[in-house]
Structure 1
């Protein structure tokens, strides 16, 4: 089952012809899992800091959330804009929060290139520290590198997860099948309350 809306086809054709390196949309399974832990109530203000083509944002909106999005890729920004989403930034690592969010749900890129890995760890920490309101909930996909890598970033991330008492849930290897860019990948969900 693909999670893209039917229109506008010309933008989706461009997207699928030359997809961004780090774009792997959430499957319906992953979206349902994230929403289960997000505890969305009608009117709650939510943020997807790495919105891609809007799969997470659409799921949050369908549950009643008012959703802001941030996305770095210009083509994906156009797709989000055409769906009516409120873009509050173009580069999450440079965007300063305009407000704090009660719910933050993300499927961040794990890397921007084969040489630049662990991007998800940085995005998740920044989202929690700067964008999440006190009492708010963060739900994010995270790569398995946070469990296995011995680099300082991964060790620091593990320590930070313990410090904030985050819950980790392992996703099945096929969690990202059934999308327009199916992939088999080790991944987890991070669930954290501030």
Structure 2
């Protein structure tokens, strides 16, 4: 990654290529943040979680809209970046962080695609009744028929999820390139 790409992130400290080139590190570019936020129905004072916060792009926008934001991030250097941006890091592993069930009004996520199914199911459990989950997801669960993919598609129907194909190339012109096709998942947890 070039120095110019790192500068585009506008972070309080320099993040090296070795961090940004790790598996599943794809910082949300502004246009992805906009899609997720637009569908989240954020209200001032609502409690939000970003479970794999990366460089904080999404969490900072939630905070700018008046939400109370908690973040989780596994990479120590990125935890520092989040803390320096006045974000409250509450853990380093979303799947094992305790005491999150039925806690959040909104969960907005661009999860690691290798863990997207487990992250999405856990995020749903962390919502309060009436809460909303807005998640980016690769198209992989719709392209394959492994047992886990079939289970996930069925689970999405069971919880009344809305899924939408997103335009091609969401990350083609971002700081970290990938041409993975993506879906948007929106779930309202029943009262």
Q: TM-score, length-normalised on structure 1? A: 0.88
Q: CA RMSD in A?
A: 1.7
Report the Cα distance in structure 2 between the residues aligned to 1:18 and 1:85, rounded to whole angstroms. Answer: 19
Aligned to 1:5: 10
Q: TM-score, length-normalised on structure 2? A: 0.89
Q: 1:154-191 CA deviation, whole Å, 9 max, x = no partner?
A: 10100011001111111112112332112211110100
Decide which moves more: 165-174 or 91-100.
91-100
Decide which moves more: 169-178 or 119-128.
169-178
Contact 2:169–2:179 under 8 Å retained in 1: yes
Task: Report how far residue 132 of structure 1 moved.
Answer: 0.7
Aligned to 1:114: none
Aligned to 2:140: 145
Task: Report how far residue 3 of structure 1 moved.
Answer: 6.4
Name the CA shift for 1:18/1:101 in 2 (closer, same or farther; >3 Å).
Answer: closer
Task: Report how far residue 17 of structure 1 moved.
Answer: 4.2
Contact 1:141–1:187 under 8 Å retained in 2: yes
Runs of at least 5 residues in structure 2 that lack an aligned partner in the other structure: none
Aligned to 1:84: 86
Aligned to 2:123: 127
Report the Cα distance in structure 2 between the residues aligned to 1:3 and 1:140, rounded to whole angstroms. Answer: 24
- Residues 1:171 and 2:166 aligned together: yes
Q: Secondary structure at the match of 1:88?
A: strand
Q: Secondary structure at the match of 1:160?
A: helix
| Aligned positions, number | 182
Q: Secondary structure at the match of 1:67?
A: strand
Report the Cα distance in structure 1 between the residues aligned to 2:106 and 2:147, rounded to whole angstroms. Answer: 28
Which of these residues, 55, 58, 64, is aligned with residue 57 of structure 2? 55
After TM superposition, list the pairs within 5 Å mapping 1:36-51 onto structure 2: 36-51=38-53
Report the Cα distance in structure 1 between the residues aligned to 2:121 and 2:49, rounded to whole angstroms. Answer: 14
Q: Secondary structure at the match of 1:75?
A: helix
Runs of at least 5 residues in structure 1 that lack an aligned partner in the other structure: 112-118
Q: 1:1-47 CA deviation, whole Å, 9 max, x = no partner?
A: 986234223xx2x2x34422110111211111111110001111100
Report the Cα distance in structure 2 between the residues aligned to 1:185 and 1:41, rounded to whole angstroms. Answer: 31
Aligned to 2:110: 107
Report the Cα distance in structure 2 between the residues aligned to 1:42 and 1:178, rounded to whole angstroms. Answer: 31
